[in-house]
């Protein structure tokens, strides 16, 4: 089976100073609104503005993949009116923004379990992906009704469905093509806004060697300057992938300077 995406646990990926792939947990919308005596949902609305700025910034910086957590498989536990507001906001955002994304040569992808979404939302998601499928400037992936455990489970089920003979013998490489992010390199940089220092069931498999960055800034207040700070922090990290610091230094010294 062809597998062009290198795994960080199998080979050592090439590192660039601008991360190729950034994954973001956009957290803190509710608190942002509460601080302003506004309803929580006003924070979600402003969160869309912040996302617009970050998408543009990533495109300008030459980031190839931006993956954002919009709704987790556990967010259904929220009050019904907030869930319903988020679904409507997602639909409106897709309807309003997709033409703009397309004009800017941005490919839109959506990952997560779509079975719980209504037909209109499912159709709009599919249309948006189809329209932007051949765009090349940036791949924006929105994780909606996504969970890292769901992803691994659905991948195993799909793989075994197609290749039952692999049940006793499958490897990382066999499984990889069935995971939601199979066509993207693993994230270089993970950003979580809103002060919480946890993964909350986001890309569990793919974050194996990702550099983690946490900020107290609430998502609606996250902007280009905040993104630059996260990238600056990333640029200070030594990515060892299990090796010693000396091995990493020897490797970079041996390379012709860019
Ligand atoms: C993140 O902001 C957006 C979603 C989870 C949909 P929150 O809604 O979690 O905001 P806080 O964490 O309550 O402030
Ligand atoms: C994670 O945020 C999910 C999204 C940002 C979509 P939550 O606010 O749901 O995470 P927890 O519950 O604080 O871990
Ligand atoms: Mg939250």
Counting as low any pLDDT under 50, the low residues of the chain are 1-2, 258
Whether the Cβ atoms of residue 183 and residue 212 lie closer than 8 Å to each other: no
Torsion from C-alpha of 95, 101, 105, 108, nearest 10 degrees: -70
Q: Is 72 in the pocket of ligand 2 (CB under 6 A)?
A: yes
Ligand 2 atom nearest 27 alpha carbon: 5
Residues paired with 140 in a beta bridge: 66, 108
Measured from the CB, is residue 219 less than 6 Å from ligand 2?
A: no
Q: What is the pLDDT of residues 158-188, one digit of tens each?
A: 999 999 999 999 999 999 999 999 999 999 9
Closest CA to 18 of 227, 217, 207: 227
- Cα 200 to middle of ligand 2, angstroms: 6
Q: Is 86 in the pocket of ligand 1 (CB under 6 A)?
A: yes
CA proximity to 23, closest of 236, 230, 258: 230
**3-class DSSP assignment, residue 54:** helix
pTM attached to this predicted model:
0.96
Identify whether 188 is a catalytic site residue.
no
3-class state of residue 226 by DSSP = helix
In this structure, the residue with its CA closest to atom 12 of ligand 1 is 28
Cα–Cα distance between 23 and 69 in angstroms, integer? 8
3 state DSSP class of 72: strand
* Nearest Cα to Cα of residue 130 among 105, 101, 103, 108: 108
Which residue is catalytic, options 27, 29, 145, 151? 27
Q: Does the beta carbon of 27 sit less than 6 angstroms from any atom of ligand 2?
A: yes
- Backbone angle region of 5, left / alpha / beta, with phi > 0 → left and psi within -120 to 50 → alpha: beta
What residue's CA is closest to ligand 2, atom 2?
27
Domains and CATH numbers, the chain: 21-253 (3.40.1180.10)
DSSP helix/strand/coil, 71: strand
């Amino acid at each position: 089976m062809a597998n062009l995406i290198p795994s960080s646990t199998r080979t050592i990926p090439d590192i660039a100073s601008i991360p190729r792939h950034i994954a973001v947990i956009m957290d803190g919308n509710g608190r942002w609104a509460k601080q302003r005596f506004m309803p929580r949902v006003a924070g979600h609305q402003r969160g869309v503005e912040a996302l617009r700025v970050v998408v543009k910034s990533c495109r300008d910086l030459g980031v190839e993949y931006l993956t954002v957590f919009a709704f987790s498989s556990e967010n259904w536990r929220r009050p019904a009116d907030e869930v319903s507001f988020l679904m409507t906001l997602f639909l409106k955002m897709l309807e309003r923004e997709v033409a703009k994304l397309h004009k800017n040569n941005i490919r839109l992808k959506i990952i997560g379990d779509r079975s719980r979404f209504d037909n209109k939302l499912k159709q709009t998601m599919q249309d948006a992906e189809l329209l932007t499928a051949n765009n090349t400037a940036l791949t924006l992936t929105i994780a909606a009704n996504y969970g890292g455990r769901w992803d691994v489970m659905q991948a195993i089920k799909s793989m075994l469905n197609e290749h039952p003979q692999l049940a006793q013998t499958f490897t990382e490489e066999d499984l990889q093509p069935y995971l939601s992010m199979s066509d993207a390199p693993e994230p270089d940089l993970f950003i979580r806004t809103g002060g919480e220092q946890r993964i909350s069931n986001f890309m569990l498999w793919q974050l194996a060697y990702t550099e983690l960055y946490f900020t107290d800034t609430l998502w609606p207040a996250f902007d280009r300057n905040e993104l630059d700070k996260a990238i600056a922090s990333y640029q200070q990290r030594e990515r060892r992938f299990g090796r010693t610091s000396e091995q990493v230094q020897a490797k970079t010294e041996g390379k012709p300077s860019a």
